[in-house]
Amino acid sequence: MKKILFICDGDNFPKGAFRFIKMMNDADQVAVKGIFFTPIDFEQLISVSYIPMAEPYVKLKEEERRLVKKSKDQFIEQCEASRIKYHILDKNEDWDKDVFTKESRFADLVIISEELFCYNNYTEQPNFFMQEALHGTECPIVVVPETFKDVEHLAFAYDGKKESVFALKQFTYLFPQFVDLPAEFVYMRDEEKDDIPDLNLLEEYTRFHFNCMAASKLHFDPKKYFSTWIKNKKNALLVSGSYGRSIVSNILRRSFADKIIHDHANPVFIAH
C-alpha cells in the first residue's frame, strides 16, 4: 500500500488530482493523507492590516477556516464514496514549506493541482509556492491538470543524466500498472547527430519494465517545442527529473516542464 499526500489550500479543491488518486486506488489500494492550509490572499491581508481594529482580521481568519473546512468535508466525502483509506493532518495553518517537506519525507508520492495550487494570488503556474513544493518535496510528486481523465501514453524526458534515470526508476516502482501502455523515451537536443547517451543500457533496463517501449531523439530545443510535441500524444503523462537545482536557479532558468505545467495539458511526474 502506498502513502499519498493530497495538498489543498482554501476551497481550491483539486478535482483532477483526486481523480488521479482514485485511478491509483482502483489499481492497487492506497492510503491518502490530506494536508489543508488556509488560502494565501495577500491583498486581503494587507487591507485589514491597515485597520487599527481586530474585527476585520478575525472575520478574514474565520472565512479562511470556513473555506478549509469546506474542502476537508469534500475530501472526506469523496474518499468514503471511493473506499479510499484516509486521514487529515490536524492543522489549519498557512502554507509552510518546512511542514510540507517533512511530511513528504515520510510519503511515497505527493499529488497537487496544476491550476489551483495557491491560486488566489498567483494564477500563473508554476507560481512561487508551487516552485517551493516542487523543489522541497523529498518524494516524487505528480502535478495534475483539472481536466485529467486517464493515462494512455507515457513520455519519459531522458537526457542521459542520473536525474532522468532516477525519475524513471521511481515511476516504475510507483506505477507498475502502466507496464502495458506505450512508453516513449525521448532525448531532446538541438543538434544534427542522432546519438543518444547510453541507449543500450536504457533499452536493457526498460525492457524489464515496459511491454511497449521506444526511444527516439527530437532535434529541437525542448524549452520551445516539447510542450507542443507532447500535446499530440493522447492523454500522455510526462516523467521528468526536473527541479533538482535550487529554487532560485529554477526560477531564473525555466525548464520545459514549466511550460507543460503552465499549459495545464498533461500530468507531470517529477522526481529529483
What pLDDT does 251 receive? 41
What pLDDT does 221 receive? 79
176 bridge partner residues:
none
Reported pTM: 0.86
Mean pLDDT value across residues 117-139: 84
* pLDDT tens per residue, range 186-217: 998 878 888 899 999 999 999 999 999 999 89
Is the peptide bond preceding residue 126 cis, with omega within 30 degrees of 0?
Answer: yes
Q: Distances from the Cα of 4 to the Cαs of 12, 104, 234, in angstroms?
A: 19, 9, 26
Lookup: cell for 208: 524489464
Q: Which residue has the cell 487529515?
A: 88
Q: How far apart are CA 90 and CA 46, in angstroms?
A: 27
As a whole-number percent, the residues of the chain with pLDDT over 70 amount to 85
Phi, psi for residue 247 in degrees, rounded to 5: -60, -35
Q: How far apart are CA 22 and CA 24, in angstroms?
A: 5
Q: Is the predicted pLDDT of residue 88 greater than 60, yes or no? A: yes
Q: How far apart are CA 136 and CA 138, in angstroms?
A: 6
By the 8 A CB rule, do 139 and 216 touch? no
Lookup: cell for 8: 489543498
Largest CA distance in the chain: 69
Per-residue pLDDT band at 61 (split at 50, 70, 90): low
Tell me the average pLDDT of the chain.
Answer: 85
Domains of the chain: 2-144 (3.40.50.620), 153-270 (3.40.50.620)
Q: Is the predicted pLDDT of residue 49 greater than 90, yes or no? A: no
SS3 assignment, position 13: coil
DSSP 100-147: HHHHHHT-SEEEEETTTTTTTT--SSS-HHHHHHHHH-SS-EEEE-TT
What pLDDT does 123 receive? 67
- C-beta atoms surrounding 29 within 10 Å: 12
- According to DSSP, residue 155 is labeled E
Q: Could you tell me how many residues make up the chain?
A: 272
Going by C-alpha positions, the residue among 168, 170, 151, 146 that lies closest to residue 159 is 168
Per-residue pLDDT band at 107 (split at 50, 70, 90): very high
Contacts of 262 (CB under 8 A, 6+ apart): 124, 125, 126
Mean pLDDT value across residues 138-156: 95
